[in-house]
A and B are shown apart, each in its own frame.
Chain A
């Protein structure tokens, strides 16, 4: 790990001297959204005709769709889609020029996270992101992965180099007109990751967006597509952090996973987008569609998410369990403080016989925040002997926050079995006093209790991610008690 970081740091430092800032500045699309912008993006990316058509179909569908705010328990003023850039707007125009210009509070947070200095600069939105050419970092591993036939590349590059695979699978899990934000994404997505694991191959390392920072920053509309061919395995990590800005920013990503026979995909997210300040000003609207298709027999998809950031989170990583004996899992920690809102959960759609799913959701609310679990478990008529187990726990800190649970269960097969357990509790004064009487500060005590509450989920994360997630939980809740 430290060698990786050293390599990354060395690269970053070296490239800094060359300063790529000007290159990026030229990559502007005019403000606003219309068919010309969609064409502009597609042309910039040198995309084939079919993809442009696909984008345009999505754009036209989007014009007819409605914002989902009416059913989700989230509230925000109408978004002006014409007042935004849809292509690679560089940040350095308004952003801080150096670390010295960045809010010390933010730097303090990164300090606590143990994020290396160059990383802090990047995370704070300082104009050094161009120097961190993630593609070349990825190439360090690319050789090794390529030998095994694994494709791990940006979506733009995949469109150029592997058009058949992209065309076969893009939109096959989340159709271009799936929902308001996914449709918008289909029209204007700028980049994202593409992963293909060939039959029988076990990907030897965790693939991560950590190494592809430039691309992640180019747009708020990433599109990720991961295909695990028969008998293969891959674990993918996604980390999110965002610069602190006063205005709300929309992040509408789409992630599609496809697992063929006996394949397994683990997808882990630690989401720490900027949540807005203590008064609810600013922050990211994280309106994301994530869905996996367990297309093959005995295929398996596991979502693990730790959602600590964003002003508003609206996402439901789901599994479509088509294959017989397929397994879908969803492990989630969603934490909201101050004025954050989270409406998150999952959908498990059982189609194949003997398909099984498991949902473990832990919601934590503090301050004035609202946290909603929304889940759907559906058994289609052919899903004989399918099983689901759902456990849904909410923890409240203070008396001005809310926890809400909306589980939907639809069974059209009499042999299906579903279990749902739910609890709501508070951090008790007894627990806090007990821990503090042993020498822990109140914040340490809260962090410890919350980590205990989330343990079942955190232990599904890869080691390093778990450590980061634990620290994040502690930071997110600072000042939430007393």
Chain B
């Protein structure tokens, strides 16, 4: 294998018959962190959903190789089990389902997929407590219903805890910075930064540069109107912060 975790080639996708992605090319090597930056409506979240297999997003052309295999042929849960993790812009509340139940079910689904034995309640709690402690997430959060009544910051930390438990190969952060104050942002970003490693790649999708002060990307891609219009190193993000997307928007149209 080429050391490429993710290879997106000529990806077109639509929702409700409207084309949103109009030919995306992007290569993400193993162990690298890439940022995808773009204005509202440029297709950032669509890219995240297409990669993670959300219902209703239809790929009309192009292909996506993940670890050299056709990612788009896999079902949503298979992608998750293969190590694709989406950190949600707005994590979803599931009333009445405790974090312990939810995460144990998820961890065991992934283990089952890989032919490993399931963890019992005791084993799972031991693992969950250790990870929660590592991330500074209060253990009490595990006993509450998933995301229910959590603050914005709590939800994002909870997502980070899930990632730590599921140990993904590809983390897609979909505007994780939205709705967070500076302190919460730093805490979440530090949690993510800790997960960086040679075995894990990340796609950090964002409108603003500020999260990139904490999660330093190896490369930055600019997404405008469904296409990658520019790529560069970290300096590109800083330029965008100053000049905005206006110049690109002219180009794309």
Contacts and interface: CB of A to CB of B under 8 A. Distances in A.
Interface of A: 428-442, 444, 448-449, 451-456
Given A439-B106, A439-B110, A440-B109, A454 B76 contact: no
Given A452-B95, A455-B96, A436 B80 contact: yes
A440 B105 contact: yes
A448 B145 contact: no
B55 A454 contact: no
Given A439-B109, A439-B113, A452 B94 contact: yes
A439 B95 CA distance: 19
Contacts of B106: 435, 438-440
A442 B110 CA distance: 14
B162 A434 contact: no
B95 A438 contact: no
Interface stretch (B85-93, B129-137, B195-203, B228-236): B85-93
Given A433-B76, A437-B76, A448 B91 contact: no
Given A434-B92, A437-B52, A438-B109, 4 more contacts: A433-B76, A437-B54, A439-B77, A440-B105
A449 B94 contact: yes
A455 B54 CA distance: 28
A452 B145 contact: yes
A441 B95 CA distance: 19
Those 7 A-B pairs whose CB atoms lie nearest each other, nearest first:
A452-B96, A452-B97, A455-B96, A438-B106, A439-B109, A434-B92, A439-B80
B33 interface: no
A391 to B, nearest CB: 13
Contacts of B142: none
B54 A433 contact: yes
Contacts of A455: 96-97
B204 interface: no
A429 B56 CA distance: 10
B223 interface: no
A385 B166 CA distance: 53
A449 B97 contact: yes
B96 A451 contact: yes
A448 B166 contact: no
B102 A448 contact: yes
A134 to B, nearest CB: 33
Interface in B160-195: 162, 166
Interface in B67-100: 76-77, 80-81, 85-86, 88, 91-97
A444 B86 CA distance: 19
Interface string B91-130: 1111111000111011101100100000000000000000
A441 B108 CA distance: 12
Contacts of A437: 52-54, 76-77, 80, 85-86
A480 B94 CA distance: 19
Contacts of A441: 77, 109
Contacts of A438: 80, 102-103, 106, 109, 162, 166
Contacts of A432: 55
B169 to A, nearest CB: 13
17 contacts: A433-B76, A433-B92, A435-B102, A436-B53, A437-B76, A438-B103, A438-B106, A438-B109, A439-B77, A439-B81, A439-B166, A448-B105, A451-B97, A452-B95, A452-B145, A453-B96, A455-B97
Nearest to A447: B105
Nearest to B96: A452
A455 B100 CA distance: 14
Give the most central of A429, A431, A435, A442: most B CB within 10 Å: A435
Contacts of B53: 436-437
A332 to B, nearest CB: 15
B88 A434 contact: yes
B99 to A, nearest CB: 11
Contacts of B85: 437
A315 B34 CA distance: 60
Residue with the highest number of chain B CB atoms closer than 10 Å, among A429, A439, A455: A439
Nearest to A438: B106
A432 B162 CA distance: 16
Contacts of B146: 452
A429 B55 contact: yes
Of A432, A438, A452, the most chain B CB neighbours within 10 A belong to: A438
Nearest to A482: B55
A444 B105 contact: yes
A422 to B, nearest CB: 16
B55 A453 contact: no
A456 B80 contact: no
A477 B162 CA distance: 27
A436 B106 CA distance: 9
A452 B97 CA distance: 4
Contacts of B93: 431
Contact of B94 (A436, A444, A448): A448
A451 B105 CA distance: 13
